[in-house]
Chain A
Amino acid sequence: MGVVQLQFSKTQKVRLHKAKESLSSKMNSDSLVTVADSIHVNHEDGVLKGHGTADLDGQVVATLCGTVERVNKLIYVRGLGSRYKPEVGDIVIGRVIEVDQKFWRLDINCNRNAYLMLSAMNMPDGVQRRRTALDELNMRGIFEEADLICAEVRGLSHDDIHLHARSKKYGKIYAVLQLSTGQMVMVSPYLVKRQKQHFHHLEEHGIDLIIGCNGLIWVGEHVKVKDEMEYQVNLTEPAHKKEEKNDTRREYICRAANAIRLLSTLGFSITLEVIKGVVDLSQSLNLEIHDMLGSEFCVLVAEKEAERRSSNKRKQ
């Protein structure tokens, strides 16, 4: 995913293989199916066929490659590597591809484009009121084509995906986050797990990390979004004051982004802890940023991950 194929030396191959072995030893492969495999079910209990399954002469057959999940009567196949399937409440990152009369159309790496209605977002001035024709005319002033936007899935009606971009919970408008200095990394959506918190603010580094459920991950400089005025002031601050701080910050951004890229090539699930772990590892080794994508570090991370998982297992 976005990274060129790595060339491994012989010892590295052996080590990688060993790490993989240790990862695979803790899993059972009984529930794995490929397309058109029949799934064993007990018909006496009654069966509800979910996603990824189909009926063939009374048999339940998988239509995807993945793992079979069973919840009471429901049987479904959780596919790997498919496009993002939106669920209500997911936090996603998308790119504006069209500004329409009353809504923006966003590409969120899904089957279809998503809509962000003008009425479903807080206005920049923070005033609650009806949206007027003037607001519609000024929509480009809020988001333009090719802007990156973070929003929440509001609902799925028919086949349309609607987003909203207001949050009272955090008391700030995270949707109107005009993303600034930073990097966007794209990973397979199945690597991102839904969690309580998808916005992370690493205070010690002054960095925002937004892990979108749709596999788009933003690593960037922390932006204060509480108050539009404050944000403006911050930007106009004399540049030389921040210069030194910015260098370490930018380095951290690059490291975090490369850590995510590496985890995505290795196919490990991506959480804040894992990303932090990889960055810390690279810093403790005094590794150059570009060396983080090299084969040696890749093997090292795989070994660390295998170790971490086995120690987690023991604790339980």
Chain B
Amino acid sequence: MEYVSPEGLRLDGRRPMEMRQIRAEIGAVSKADGSAVFEMGNTKVIAAVYGPREVQNRSQQLSDKALVRCEYNMANFSTGDRMRKPKGDRRSTEISLVIRQTLEECILTHLMPRSQIDIYVQVLQADGGTRSACINAATLALADAGIPMRDLVTSCSAGYLNSTPLLDLNYVEDSAGGPDVTVGILPKLDKVTLLQMDSKLPIDILENVIQLATEGCKAIANYIREILLENTKELEYRRGS
């Protein structure tokens, strides 16, 4: 199948290096300590953060740092065909783990010993790149909850189809079976915290693809930063001095 037309356009009309439209909103869940909605094109994810709070299961308590827990969930209505998936299937367990590890890296857990931070991410619409969107939403929610972080983590995916590197794959491109690289970076520290790939890719092309995904991450980071600053400004102004 042709994923990039001779004119250099993708199936949804984007250029190979073009990202989908992103949109973020802070404060979607009123009872949570921090929450955010993040959209990448048709992918829409909601994240809620609770804590730091007392550890629920005392045997899991860590005396030198906070316990970070993450739960990824895909709404039944999020995909094209409505499917009833059992909770805790392999895919969602794996993604929960990935998100947790990525975020734990950036949270300054040692500042909150013997407490627990819960992160819940729910996919409302799935159109490829859900794990990237989840990480981005969770970062925003963590920042909203006022949890100290080393840096913002942002994530973006890139693929390689029709011998072209493509940024931010959607569902159709994702299910083409080609290589799909998900990268998560700390933009300020310039460090990679997440790197995953499906299928195979020659090493010289891999570098290009990773580079492309990293650029995407940086663009997202800029956007997230703007949103956060806007939100902080708003809160500060309203509160008054």
Tell me whether A36 and B152 are in contact (CB under 8 A).
yes
> Contact at B54–A35, with CB atoms within 8 Å?
no
Q: When the two chains form the complex, which single residue of A1, A20, A35, A56 contacts B152, counting CB atoms closer than 8 Å?
A: A35
Tell which of B33, B52, B149, B238 touches A267, judged by Cβ atoms closer than 8 Å.
B238
- Among A61, A81, A268, the residue within 8 A (CB) of B144 is A81
Given the complex, which residues of B lie within 8 Å of A20, measured CB to CB?
Answer: 234, 237-238
Q: Are B228 and A65 touching (Cβ within 8 A)?
A: yes
Q: Does A120 contact B (CB under 8 A)?
A: no
A81 to chain B, nearest CB (A): 5
Q: Which of A22-30, A166-174, A204-212, A244-252 contacts B (4 or more CB under 8 A)?
A: A22-30
CA–CA, A111 and B238, complex, Å: 26
| Residue contact B236 to A56, C-beta cutoff 8 Å | no
The answer to whether A81 touches B235 (Cβ under 8 A) is yes
The reply to whether the CB of A34 lies closer than 8 angstroms to some CB of chain B is yes
Interface: B114 (CB within 8 A): yes
Q: Is residue B112 within 8 Å, beta carbon to beta carbon, of the partner chain?
A: yes
Which of B53, B148, B231 interacts with A64 by CB under 8 Å?
B148
> Given the complex, which residues of B lie within 8 Å of A183, measured CB to CB?
none
Contact mask A60-85 → B, CB, 8 Å, 1/0?
A: 01011111000000000001111100
Q: How far is the CA of A23 from the CA of B231 in the complex (A)?
A: 15
Query: What CA separation (Å) do A65 and B30 show in the bound complex?
Result: 19
Bound-complex Cα distance A79 to B228 (A): 12
Give Cα distance in the complex from A65 to B129, angstroms: 27
Query: Shortest Cβ distance from B218 into chain A, in angstroms?
Result: 13
Cβ contacts B43-68/A at 8 Å (1 or 0 each): 00000000111100000000000000
How far in angstroms is the closest Cβ of chain A from B235?
Answer: 5
Contact A36 B150 (CB under 8 A): yes
Task: List chain A residues, Cβ under 8 A from B238.
Answer: 20, 23, 266-268
Is A159 an interface residue, CB under 8 A from the partner? yes
Does A269 sit within 8 A of B, measured CB to CB?
yes
Taking a contact as CB atoms under 8 Å apart, the answer to whether A111 and B228 are in contact is no
Q: Which of A1, A32, A159 contacts B232 (CB 8 A)?
A: A32
Q: Bound state CA distance, A104 and B187, in angstroms?
A: 45
Whether the pair A34, B228 counts as a contact (CB closer than 8 A) is: yes
Return the CB mask of A230-269 against B: 1 if under 8 Å, else 0: 0000000000000000000000000000000000001111
Known: A32-B236, A35-B228. A81 touches B151 (CB 8 A): no
| Residue B113 at the chain A interface, CB threshold 8 Å | yes
**Is A191 in the interface zone, CB < 8 Å from B?**
yes
- The CA of A244 and the CA of B127, in the complex, are separated in Å by 61
Given the complex, which residues of A lie within 8 Å of B232, measured CB to CB? 32-34, 65-67, 80
Given A20-B237, A80-B236, A267-B238, do A34 and B225 touch, yes or no (CB 8 Å)?
A: yes
For residues 101 through 157 of chain A, which have their beta carbon under 8 Å from a beta carbon of chain B?
A: 107, 111-113
User: Would you call B31 an interface residue if the criterion is a C-beta within 8 Å of the partner chain's C-beta atoms?
Assistant: yes
CA distance A159 to B148 in the complex (A): 17
B52 CB, min distance to chain A CBs, angstroms? 5
Give the docked Cα–Cα distance between A56 and B108 (Å): 14
Contact check, B235 vs A80: say whether CB atoms are below 8 A apart. yes
User: Closest 9 CB pairs between A and B?
Assistant: A82-B146, A267-B238, A63-B148, A36-B188, A34-B228, A24-B237, A79-B146, A36-B151, A111-B52
- Mind listing 23 A-B residue pairs with CB under 8 Å? A3-B30, A20-B234, A27-B236, A29-B233, A34-B225, A35-B149, A35-B151, A36-B187, A37-B225, A54-B148, A61-B188, A63-B148, A64-B143, A65-B144, A65-B229, A80-B239, A82-B145, A82-B147, A83-B33, A83-B51, A83-B53, A267-B234, A267-B239
Known: A3-B30, A112-B115. 9 other contacts (CB 8 A): A1-B30, A27-B241, A32-B229, A54-B148, A81-B145, A83-B146, A111-B51, A159-B114, A190-B239
